[in-house]
């Protein structure tokens, strides 16, 4: 793959910092002629506004024009690279002079290679680091439909669906009627490819912020992944069961409140709405099974029915389920977690995992009609054909489990601690308190002062040691009594 030397040089300006990195690829090949020559074309203005919406102030960008690389005419060709979001004036100054490209030493309009452009953005501009690659195109790979077009289309398809670098890919088909001297067009496609997991997180954060919706109001068509979060479960009706109370939170999550002192809760009947979350595809058929996971333990969820048919975007189906929470591994009432949460609730993260097997996807008719309206006469791009290998998918619904612990175990533990402390204090007092002991040596009574742990020698009238008095917490004993000596405890 030939890459512009300018793009290679500018790639060094994209830092590996906490800020996001963006590469904006603006197509200027022959099929794009009306987008450049129609005086009413909003093409360059759209690029400007998407850059403004997509970038945060500290993000980095490379803005490049692309067509198809030829000797003497490298592609992509960098137009701007900098750290920090450029203002609109600078973007206009860079984009306004951009014209439709022609082949070297020829009046023929330049061809296009979408895969070449995206590959250069990932490998060179981003340098293999995370980031977002934006592609502005009319979806046509060559104005003359040369024999290599089909091959380049397959390479582009493989790069998006089969390549490991791209973790998420979205497409925004936009209405943009333009008329040029040679061609006319009715629409434009804006793609965004998230590179590596960090890039996926950056794209998700951007979509959640709503900034992009201020410029592009069309819903994004998901190209990848098609095996994750393909459906969304929304609780519609919940019937409580003894020992557990259910509620649906405003964000659609399910909350379950359990009393730790109650017996194991029974199964609850929950009615769900299952929604298609992979516009523009219809799930024509799939087998569904689910399980609830909590505290490292899982339990099957019985679904009725256990399959979906013709689940189109925006048209949910109803599922009934029998849900029992897996409570075998929950902390007991005497556990440290329970004692810390005494009198309040301990929040445990749980989830319901949904798996779709034998999944069959097809483009929705509404999307096909829209593509035909925007790109009349053009075949549907292969990139919208789901890979045959994607026959399974999964989705996750977070569940918040609140485990309510009473204060009884903690109060009992506190009471036991005080009792133990009192007993320890009593033992300490007994150990340090002085004692008086009466002993008789050779018929003479004596009072000896001692304390627990002491060994006190006893002498006769002649000054000879005749015995030893040992004192403990529990009493006194005589030891080492000299043979023939008359020594005893008491009078």
The top-scoring range by mean pLDDT among 74-88, 325-339, 389-403 is: 74-88
Residues 458 and 388 in one domain: no
Q: What is the dihedral of CA 230, 235, 236, 242, to 10 degrees?
A: 150
Q: Residue 182 above 90 pLDDT?
A: no
Residues 135 and 189 in one domain: yes
The CATH number of residue 115's host domain is: 3.40.50
- The DSSP letter of residue 480 is S
Would residue 252 count as lying in a domain? yes
Would residue 338 count as lying in a domain? yes
Q: Residue 410 above 60 pLDDT?
A: no
Residues 139 and 164 in one domain: yes
Is the sign of the CA dihedral 479, 485, 488, 491 positive or negative?
negative
Residues 250 and 343 in one domain: yes
Nearest Cα neighbor of 399 from 348, 467, 364 is 348
Query: pTM score, two decimals?
Result: 0.74
Nearest Cα neighbor of 372 from 113, 190, 224, 173 is 173
Domain that holds residue 449: 433-489
- Last residue of a domain, which of 347, 378, 410? 410
Residue with more model confidence, 61 or 403: 61
Would residue 422 count as lying in a domain? no
Residues 236 and 218 in one domain: no
- Spatial distance between the Cα atoms of 358 and 287, rounded to a whole number of angstroms: 6
Residues 260 and 220 in one domain: no
Average pLDDT, the chain: 80
The string of pLDDT tens digits covering residues 91-119 is 999 999 999 999 888 888 888 888 899 99
> C-alpha angle 223/229/234, rounded to 5°?
130
Mean pLDDT computed over 178-192: 92
Q: What's residue 235's pLDDT?
A: 81
- Spatial distance between the Cα atoms of 457 and 479, rounded to a whole number of angstroms: 9
Q: Where does the pLDDT of residue 54 fall: very low under 50, low under 70, confident under 90, or very high at 90 and above?
A: very high
Total residue length of the chain: 491
| Poorest-pLDDT segment among 75-84, 177-186, 273-282, 377-386 | 377-386
Would residue 425 count as lying in a domain? no
Residues 210 and 246 in one domain: no
Residues contacting residue 333 through CB under 8 Å, at least 6 positions apart: 260, 261, 405, 406, 408, 409
Cα maximum dimension of the chain? 138
Residue with more model confidence, 82 or 476: 82
Would residue 67 count as lying in a domain? yes
Q: What's residue 197's pLDDT?
A: 94
- Last residue of a domain, which of 224, 240, 267? 224
Would residue 43 count as lying in a domain? yes
Q: What's residue 338's pLDDT?
A: 45
Q: What's residue 259's pLDDT?
A: 67
- Last residue of a domain, which of 198, 224, 250? 224
Would residue 303 count as lying in a domain? yes
- Spatial distance between the Cα atoms of 354 and 397, rounded to a whole number of angstroms: 8
Number of domains in the chain: 3
The string of pLDDT tens digits covering residues 303-359 is 888 888 999 888 888 888 877 765 554 555 444 444 454 445 667 777 888 888 888
Nearest Cα neighbor of 228 from 394, 398, 397 is 394
Q: Residue 8 above 50 pLDDT?
A: no
Q: Where does the pLDDT of residue 207 fall: very low under 50, low under 70, confident under 90, or very high at 90 and above?
A: very high
The string of pLDDT tens digits covering residues 440-474 is 777 778 777 777 777 888 777 777 787 787 877 67
Strand pairing partners for 348?
401
Residues 220 and 246 in one domain: no
Q: Residue 268 above 80 pLDDT?
A: no
Q: What's residue 430's pLDDT?
A: 53
Residues 158 and 306 in one domain: no
Would residue 416 count as lying in a domain? no
Q: Residue 406 above 90 pLDDT?
A: no
Residues 271 and 327 in one domain: yes
Whose tokens are 């005497």? That residue is 334
Residues 151 and 254 in one domain: no
Residues 449 and 392 in one domain: no
**Measured in whole angstroms, how far is the alpha carbon of residue 285 from the centre of its chain?**
28
């Amino acid at each position: 793959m030939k890459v512009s030397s300018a793009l290679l040089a500018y790639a060094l300006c994209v830092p590996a910092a906490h800020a996001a990195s963006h590469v904006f690829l603006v197509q200027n090949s022959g099929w794009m002629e009306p987008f450049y020559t129609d005086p009413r074309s909003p093409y360059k203005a759209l690029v400007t506004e998407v850059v403004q919406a997509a970038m945060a102030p500290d993000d980095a960008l490379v803005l490049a024009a692309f067509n198809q690389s030829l000797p003497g005419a490298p592609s992509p060709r960098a137009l701007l690279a900098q750290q920090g979001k450029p203002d609109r004036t600078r973007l206009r100054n860079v984009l306004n002079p951009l014209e439709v490209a022609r082949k070297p030493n020829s009046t023929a309009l330049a061809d296009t290679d979408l895969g070449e452009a995206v590959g250069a953005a990932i490998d060179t501009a981003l340098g293999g680091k995370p980031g977002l690659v934006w592609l502005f195109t009319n979806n046509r790979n060559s104005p003359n439909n040369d024999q290599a077009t089909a091959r380049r289309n397959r390479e582009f398809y493989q790069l998006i669906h089969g390549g490991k670098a791209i973790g998420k890919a979205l497409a925004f088909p936009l209405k943009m009627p333009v008329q040029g001297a040679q061609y006319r067009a009715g629409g434009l496609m804006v793609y965004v490819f998230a590179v590596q997991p960090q890039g996926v997180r950056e794209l998700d954060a951007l979509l959640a912020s709503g900034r992009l919706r201020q410029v592009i109001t069309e819903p994004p068509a998901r190209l990848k992944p098609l095996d994750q979060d393909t459906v969304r479960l929304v609780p519609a009706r919940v019937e409580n069961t003894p020992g557990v109370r259910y509620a649906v939170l405003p964000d659609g999550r399910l909350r379950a409140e359990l009393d730790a002192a109650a017996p194991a809760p029974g199964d609850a009947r929950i009615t769900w709405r299952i929604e298609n979350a992979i516009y523009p595809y219809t799930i024509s058929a799939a087998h569904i099974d689910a399980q609830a996971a909590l505290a490292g333990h899982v339990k099957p969820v019985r679904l009725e029915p256990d399959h979906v048919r013709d689940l189109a975007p925006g048209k949910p189906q109803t599922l009934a389920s029998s849900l029992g929470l897996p409570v075998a591994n929950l902390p007991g009432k005497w556990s440290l977690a329970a004692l810390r949460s005494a009198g309040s609730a301990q929040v445990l993260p749980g989830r319901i995992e949904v798996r779709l097997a034998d999944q069959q996807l097809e483009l929705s008719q509404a999307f096909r009609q829209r593509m035909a309206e925007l790109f009349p006469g053009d075949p549907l791009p292969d990139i919208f054909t789901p890979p045959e290998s994607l026959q399974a998918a999964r989705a996750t619904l977070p569940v918040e489990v609140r485990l309510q612990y009473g204060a009884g175990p903690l109060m009992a533990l506190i009471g036991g601690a005080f009792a133990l402390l009192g007993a320890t204090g009593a033992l300490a007092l007994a150990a340090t308190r002085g004692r008086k002991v009466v002993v008789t040596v050779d018929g003479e009574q004596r009072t000896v002062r001692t304390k627990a742990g002491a060994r006190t020698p006893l002498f006769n009238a002649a000054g000879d040691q005749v015995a030893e008095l040992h004192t403990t917490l529990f009493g006194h004993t005589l030891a080492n009594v000299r043979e023939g000596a008359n020594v005893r405890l008491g009078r």
